Each structure stands twice: as C-alpha cells, then as structure tokens.
Amino acid sequence: MENWNWLMHKGRLTVVGAGPGDVDLITLKGIKALQKADVVLYDALVDTKLLDYAPDAEKIFVGKRKGCYAYQQEQINELIINRARSNKHVVRLKGGDPFVFGRGAEEMEFAAKHGLEVNVVPGISSSVSVPASQDIPVTKRGASESFWVITGTTKDHKLSKDVALAAKSNATVVILMGMSKLSEIMQLFKSEGKSNIPVAIIQNGTTDKEKMGIGTVASIEYKAREQQLSNPAIIVIGEVVNHRQKIVNIKKEYQQKEEVLLEKE
C-alpha cells in the first residue's frame, strides 16, 4: 500500500532554461511552466523578475554567488525530491539553457531514478545569444564555418583540454566561465600564432549591467583589466568579432549619406 501511495503522489520536475539574462528572452513554454509551478528552485544568474510568473509558488534560491553556495548539488537534488513527494510540480529554473553546462541533465536523471515525472524546457543559450546581442555571430560565411562552446573551468577547477584543441582550428571559440583562466587561454592561442585574432569579452550579457571589452589575443588581458571585466562573462575568439565594427561602420556611412542628401534639399 505504501508503494501505491508513492505512485499516486510522486510529483514532477520541469527543468526550465531562463535564457541569457534579459527576462524577455525566456520562452513562452518556460513561462507556462512557471505559471503551473508549486515550487521554484532558481539560480543566481536568473533575473528574479521571472518569479512573478509563479506568484503562488514557493521560491527557493539555490544558486551560488562569488563561490558561495546556498546549497550543494546533493542538497539541491534532495530538495527536488522532498518538495515533489506531495504531488507537487517543481520547476528548476536555470540560466541560459539547462543542458549547456547547467547540470540540468544530472538533476533530471536523479529525479527520474526517484520516480518523478521529468521534463525539460530548453532555453536560449548565452553562448550564442550574448554574442548575437552585440552583433557578433558565431558563424559567418567566409569567416567561420563552425564554432566551439567550451567551459573554461572543469569540475577539477582546471582549464579544459579542449581549449588547446580549439586554438588549433579556424572555428569561432566561445568560452564560458573562463575569466579566471583568461591568461592561460590567451597563451594557448598565442602559441598557435594567433596573437592578432579578435577577441570579445561580454559580462552580464543582455542585462542592464552588461559590460564589454574588445581587443585581440595579444591585448585582451589589458582590456579586461582596464574595464574591470570578470565573471559572469563570455569570451568570444575569432574573426567574427570584427562583424560588430563592420555593422557600426555601415550604419555611420548610411547616416552620413542621409545627412548629405538632407543638406542638398
């Protein structure tokens, strides 16, 4: 009988991607999930304005700020199970896309093993959308045929070996959580003779706290210090970074032509 009661009250987990930061960049499906939530567990990179979509839900902050954890991952897993046991719908709200360095897959697996119904609502990944918000594409015909998205820091707090492999390619390289390893990353690209490759660092992308620095592999460390850039930030390495300035130049040229035409009139 006890097992039967558990099946009748097993609850469910929906892992939702909140997008890169701008509250308008969450998906409609993500909003609908929040509206049906009984409990929302949210991370540090989630704008708390999104919690307004779940006015009656219990809201628990489980993120980390500057290395300080509100909950360890094992505690988050247990929290999901405990809150879901009374037939509750738990929404795990995570920045960006929960399957791009978000541990969403791990949480879903843990919940499924404990009998919960599990679902995921994909989010707009910061790895693509944050550069795009600054007119930087990750691919562009004639400039980049592919792109890498790499974590700058592994679970062992070391630089991913994939960065060295990416530095050998002609692809755009997007590095998340890499600011603490910026010098080490740039050295890998310098060793491949790529000191002049453009680099952009975008901090707090798509939010009102956004900051950006643009330079080259050789100069970006200076730019980062000068503009006091730090995590959470995205590092974009590749010729596609130049696209932003091209758009600025085209806009200026068009504006100048308009002004000349107005003067003639």
pLDDT tens profile 141-198: 999 999 999 999 888 889 999 999 999 999 999 999 999 999 999 999 999 999 999 9
Q: Is the distance from CB of 84 to CB of 12 less than 8 angstroms?
A: yes
**Is there a domain that residue 252 lies in?**
no
Q: Is 177 a catalytic residue?
A: yes
Per-residue confidence at 265, pLDDT binned at 50, 70, 90?
low
Set 32, 59, 64, 140: catalytic member: 64
Using alpha carbons only, what angle is made at residue 204 by residues 199 and 209, rounded to the nearest 5 degrees?
120
Set 22, 94, 177, 186: catalytic member: 177
CA atoms of 18 and 206, how far apart (whole Å) = 12
User: How would you classify the pairing of strands 117-121 and 12-17?
Assistant: parallel
Please indicate, yes or no, whether residues 26 and 133 belong to a single structural domain of this protein. no
**Is there a domain that residue 7 lies in?**
no
> What is residue 249's DSSP assignment?
H
For the entire predicted model, the pTM comes to 0.90
Number of domains the chain contains: 2
Please indicate, yes or no, whether residues 106 and 152 belong to a single structural domain of this protein. no
Please indicate, yes or no, whether residues 130 and 92 belong to a single structural domain of this protein. no
Please indicate, yes or no, whether residues 157 and 85 belong to a single structural domain of this protein. no
**Mean of all residue pLDDT scores within the chain:** 92
**Is there a domain that residue 89 lies in?**
yes
Set 38, 43, 47, 97: catalytic member: 43
**Is there a domain that residue 255 lies in?**
no
Residue 43, CA distances (Å) to 92, 226, 231 in order? 9, 29, 15
**Is there a domain that residue 2 lies in?**
no
Half-sphere exposure of 163 (CA within 13 A, CB side): 27
Q: For residue 161, what are the domain limits?
A: 126-247
